Chains A and B, each alone.
Chain A
């Protein structure tokens, strides 16, 4: 059980092994994504300080399925609100007051509504985190100091090493051709810069450039 979970988490982390290229602005990034997809790359991801308009289409991502999760949890909330009020007042401890019905739907609406909203909201947040695989304390991307700017003003394109067309040198060259300002190779061993063809390499191949950081090696 624990080891299978571990395996799943490892597979998740492995997705992020690959090349990370920095671009100057959202438009250049969007364009590079479109071009790499035209080249046949599919395991692409972008890292940006805010959601870039049109990026889902450029990456070919289907709309989020979160709505279905929220519909399910919201319906569960409505059902809970209904059953809670009906069972407590009409079944478990019926009290007859002024010959009023033990249960009626009209006065039950506010609590059914409130519980629907509560369950939906929890479903929306929980579902979003689950679909995104968050919280994720370890991620090889955190080895890259450069990528830290994706939460400030950096625009990054990631090509997964698991992509069928991935070839470290050729893919890096493709990224430079699309206007990448810098490219790094990120793996579980660290992040290392990848040089443009014909330029001296930045660092020895297996030496991690940066120490592990951020959310800790839990």
Chain B
């Protein structure tokens, strides 16, 4: 909170008030080469023991994943805790939860890009990777919940022996399209962003004489040279992809919410669902990014690239979206009362005070109450606290979906069929298993792929701007290095000397 006094204290020498833009986006006064070195070296060094330990835990959970899937496919969905009024349970809760988490990556890459939020460059690569892996985990549940998983192609418009087509008027089918296209476009976006960085890895491999690595990286970097004639089309492609991904990311969770909102189940049939689901998705996605990056920036020693300022900005997003979600919970109550429909009113009273009140209040505290701590700057910048809140946020968001799915279903219109639903050990095993899938993929990403967008971070360094060197627009500039006249700010900037620093 900037009081007048503190604004004056941090004002520019020329009198203009200090803005967020004045904060350096990366710290440590890094040169271009330092950025390359900081990020690329992690993919080139010998595998660290800690990584191997983490990876073996992840593989262990992958074993649980395989076991849970095998048991499920062998026996059918009867191994889950579903019963007659509650025909949806953990599977859709987990699906919506993972898809929601998968929203942060594209939000950071696309929406923050269009809004010219240059701080996104340090975190977008890892966030996009997280998105891809979260979507992969999400797709497990709808794929396997059909029971006969070998018939999943029925959901796609593929000509088949029954001459039948999917029901295009069903939101469940829109979901198939929305989520799979979201995954595809996110992958394209991620890969396009990776091309220049893979070329960096290729050229470093050549320099170090690692020819096999150079060939692999050369294959995936498609012969990228950094030509300006290429950058021109590349930047346009990136802008267009950002423009496409922005409505896409908003549409995905809207479509997911239609799965509920288009039905006539009390508590689901509301128009607030699409915006409320999207806000919740961003909320949980940012929380997952904070969870992962708090650990990764420490483990990989990239705290100068992913700074406390980055984390603070994400915590502000968590505060805002958490409050929107909390506001939506309260609005739902108001609308239930205002509608005058007794079934709606009962559904909401039952949520807050019925047999699932425990889940409801976990949701309320984790999503609405805890994030309010982020109003305090000191808390927003406290690593331990933000890590804890990022975890409680995702617990809260899991319970949000649990509350929505289970409380509306377990007491339907016919009281004689009311029942209490809970998941079984196999529900839990599959959910834990997806953590194995997620962490396996994320650890492989950290090990083999540049986890920060090298080229993009270089582009936001002050010395990337030609005006930094004092040549003006070039036409009437002078050729002498400005450093000689003392106009160049202190700090390393690339010179010919840096070419000799290879080992």
Nearest residue (CB) in B for A131 is B233
CB distance from A209 to the nearest CB of B (A): 14
The answer to whether A214 touches B237 (Cβ under 8 A) is no
A131 CA to B231 CA in the complex, in Å? 11
The answer to whether B218 touches A45 (Cβ under 8 A) is no
The 8 Å CB contact of B168, one of A89, A120, A158, is A89
A131 CA to B230 CA in the complex, in Å? 8
Cβ contacts under 8 Å, B202 to chain A: 151, 214-215
Question: How many inter-chain residue pairs (CB < 8 Å) link A and B?
Answer: 253
Cβ contacts under 8 Å, A108 to chain B: 168
The answer to whether A132 touches B230 (Cβ under 8 A) is yes
Is A79's beta carbon under 8 Å from chain B? no
Is A170's beta carbon under 8 Å from chain B? no
A27 CA to B202 CA in the complex, in Å? 26
Given A25-B469, A110-B251, answer yes or no on A61-B174 (Cβ-Cβ < 8 Å). no
Is B463's beta carbon under 8 Å from chain A? yes
CB distance from B345 to the nearest CB of A (A): 29
Cβ contacts under 8 Å, B464 to chain A: 26, 50, 52-53
Is A10's beta carbon under 8 Å from chain B? no
Given A67-B236, A128-B192, A152-B204, answer yes or no on A121-B241 (Cβ-Cβ < 8 Å). yes
| Interface mask (A68-112 → B, CB under 8 Å = 1, otherwise 0) | 001000000000000011001100110000000000000110110
Is B169's beta carbon under 8 Å from chain A? yes
Which among B189, B211, B247, B466 has the highest number of chain A CB atoms within 10 Å? B466
Is A154's beta carbon under 8 Å from chain B? yes
User: Dominant SS at the A interface?
Assistant: helix
| Interface mask (A125-137 → B, CB under 8 Å = 1, otherwise 0) | 1011101101111
The answer to whether B455 touches A89 (Cβ under 8 A) is no
The answer to whether A181 touches B496 (Cβ under 8 A) is yes
For window 156-174 of B, CB contacts with A under 8 Å fall at: 157, 163-166, 168-169, 171, 173-174
Cβ contacts under 8 Å, A146 to chain B: 499
The 8 Å CB contact of A110, one of B178, B463, B475, is B178
The 8 Å CB contact of B496, one of A22, A64, A139, is A22
Given A58-B474, A121-B241, A128-B237, answer yes or no on A46-B204 (Cβ-Cβ < 8 Å). no
For window 191-221 of B, CB contacts with A under 8 Å fall at: 191-192, 196, 199-200, 202-204, 206-207, 211, 214-215, 218-219, 221
For window 476-503 of B, CB contacts with A under 8 Å fall at: 477, 479, 481, 493-496, 498-499
A63 CA to B204 CA in the complex, in Å? 32
Select the stretch in A28-36, A161-169, A189-197, A198-206 that faces chain B: A28-36
Is A24's beta carbon under 8 Å from chain B? yes
B contact residues, range: 35 or more
Is B235's beta carbon under 8 Å from chain A? yes
Is B93's beta carbon under 8 Å from chain A? no
Is B145's beta carbon under 8 Å from chain A? no
Nearest residue (CB) in B for A146 is B499
CB distance from B270 to the nearest CB of A (A): 18
The answer to whether B233 touches A88 (Cβ under 8 A) is no
Given A114-B251, A124-B241, A125-B241, answer yes or no on A27-B466 (Cβ-Cβ < 8 Å). yes
Is B456's beta carbon under 8 Å from chain A? yes
Given A47-B226, A124-B237, answer yes or no on A61-B206 (Cβ-Cβ < 8 Å). no
CB distance from B368 to the nearest CB of A (A): 30
The 8 Å CB contact of A49, one of B219, B251, B458, is B458
The answer to whether A31 touches B474 (Cβ under 8 A) is yes
Is B301's beta carbon under 8 Å from chain A? no
Cβ contacts under 8 Å, A132 to chain B: 227, 229-230, 233-234
CB distance from A202 to the nearest CB of B (A): 15
The 8 Å CB contact of A153, one of B171, B471, B498, is B498
CB distance from A107 to the nearest CB of B (A): 4
The answer to whether A137 touches B32 (Cβ under 8 A) is no
Q: Which residues of A contact B (CB under 8 A)?
A: 22, 24-28, 30-31, 34, 45-56, 58-59, 61, 63-64, 66-67, 70, 84-85, 88-89, 92-93, 107-108, 110-111, 113-115, 117-118, 120-122, 124-125, 127-129, 131-132, 134-139, 141, 145-155, 158, 178-179, 181-182, 213-216
Q: Which residues of B contact A (CB under 8 A)?
A: 31-33, 36, 157, 163-166, 168-169, 171, 173-174, 177-178, 181, 184-185, 188-189, 191-192, 196, 199-200, 202-204, 206-207, 211, 214-215, 218-219, 221-237, 240-241, 244-245, 247-248, 251, 255, 258, 454-456, 458-459, 463-471, 473-475, 477, 479, 481, 493-496, 498-499
Apart from A46-B227, A181-B496, A182-B496, what 6 extra A-B contacts exist at CB < 8 Å? A50-B455, A54-B466, A117-B244, A117-B247, A127-B237, A135-B223
7 contacting pairs across A/B (C-beta < 8 A): A24-B495, A31-B471, A89-B165, A107-B169, A114-B248, A120-B244, A214-B218
